[in-house]
Amino acid sequence: MRRLNLHTLGPIVALIALVILGAMLNPAFLAPANITNVLARSAFIGMIAVGMTFVITSGGLDLSVGSMAAFLAGVAIMAMNAVAPALGVHWGTILIGMGVALLGGLAAGWLNGALVTKARIEPFIVTLGTMGIFRSLVTWLADGGTLSLQSGLRTLYRPVYYGGIGWITWPIITFAVVAIIGEWMMRHSRFGRHVEAIGSNERVARYSAIDVNRVKLMTYVLLGLLVGLAVVLYVPRLGSASGSTGVLWELEAIAAVIIGGTALKGGTGRVWGTVVGVLILSLIDNILNLADLVSPYLNGAIQGVIIVLAVVLQREKSAADER
């Protein structure tokens, strides 16, 4: 039991170590502005990673989320620009944009889920396909360039990313709410139990009268919706979208899930672990930028080491239990 605790607490210990390291390397690290910055940047990947935790726990995978985010951002921007002449620079216009992003996310997630459950195609293949499709669609919509929100709307929309309650900006608040609800669902709801059961052994789930296809579909829909939510908060940051928006977000989200202790093969999901994983990844990035110890170009290498290490530690635990 004690070893199990140490194992589950591993990511937290790593996170605390990183915070101490960061504070030692640069006093600016603990400044509220920096903390806000780190958390707000984590929020996008974070919300997506929470959704990804459900998908992976059920034994699935979604590689399309980065492209999906870019595509949704593009479509939302186009929608807002399109209704602006009629509605004017007004919150109504922005609400329409938000609605488009959320509904689009829902639909895109449903598409992935339906291809996995109804057409019975491997999630890896399905989402590899839709990843290419979304990416190419947004590039096409932007005609190879950038889709930009009208400047009036941009100004109006800006506070959704930069504003908030004191230091705590809206993305941070939204991320926290999503994380808490996600953790609650995984632990205390029937849906969470079913997701874990399916990832643990799909046949047992079916023989327990669980609607396996519906639950799996719901995980993809939930993830799509969270991608939409991330887009709602991301668009006001830059006010634009292009073919290079959200590149590699899928890998960061998956990495965060794995670092947090969710098994890639499914069966056990830890939403709070995912949150810790996201924070670890963005702290590494932040510390490298603040301190001159290592080139920020090595960021990817360090993150890679952490991912492999996290998995090795998990493996060692189960091997030690064997004999």
Q: Residue 74 in contact with residue 200, Cβ under 8 Å?
A: no
Interface mask toward other proteins for 186-205; x: CB under 8 A: --xxx--xx-xx--xx-xxx
Going by C-alpha positions, the residue among 29, 9, 64 that lies closest to residue 285 is 29
Tell me which stretch binds other proteins (CB under 8 A): 75-83, 84-92, 184-192, 279-287: 184-192
Beta strands in the chain (DSSP E): 146-148, 164-165, 168-169, 240-242
**Shortest Cβ distance from residue 215 to other proteins (Å)?**
12
* Non-local CB neighbours of 305 within 8 Å, separated by 6+ positions: none
**Shortest Cβ distance from residue 122 to other proteins (Å)?**
14
Among positions 86, 144, 166, 323, the unique one binding other proteins when judged by CB under 8 A: 323
Q: With respect to other proteins, which residue has the nearer C-beta, 211 or 316?
A: 211
**Shortest Cβ distance from residue 189 to other proteins (Å)?**
7
How many residues in the shown chain lie near other proteins by CB under 8 A?
21
* Non-local CB neighbours of 143 within 8 Å, separated by 6+ positions: none
Among positions 165, 209, 295, 319, the unique one binding other proteins when judged by CB under 8 A: 209
Q: Residue 210 in contact with residue 198, Cβ under 8 Å?
A: yes
Q: With respect to other proteins, which residue has the nearer C-beta, 90 or 193?
A: 193
Binding to other proteins by residue 315, rule CB under 8 A?
no
**Shortest Cβ distance from residue 222 to other proteins (Å)?**
17
Tell me which stretch binds other proteins (CB under 8 A): 31-39, 53-61, 168-176, 183-191: 183-191
Q: With respect to other proteins, which residue has the nearer C-beta, 38 or 185?
A: 185
DSSP type of residue 169? E
Residue whose entry in the numeric block shows the structure tokens 């059961």: 197
Q: Residue 136 in contact with residue 231, Cβ under 8 Å?
A: no
Among positions 88, 177, 211, 300, the unique one binding other proteins when judged by CB under 8 A: 211
**Shortest Cβ distance from residue 316 to other proteins (Å)?**
17
**Shortest Cβ distance from residue 205 to other proteins (Å)?**
8
| Residue 187: both structure tokens together | 């632990």
Q: With respect to other proteins, which residue has the nearer C-beta, 13 or 204?
A: 204
* Non-local CB neighbours of 259 within 8 Å, separated by 6+ positions: 11, 273, 276, 277, 280, 281, 306, 307, 310
Residues between 245 and 284 with contacts to other proteins, criterion CB under 8 A: 267-268
Calpha distance 127→113 (Å, rounded): 9
Q: With respect to other proteins, which residue has the nearer C-beta, 228 or 267?
A: 267
User: SS3 for 168?
Assistant: strand
> How open is the CA angle 152-171-52, to the nearest 5 degrees?
120
Q: Which residues bind other proteins (CB under 8 A)?
A: 188-190, 193-194, 196-197, 200-201, 203-211, 267-268, 323
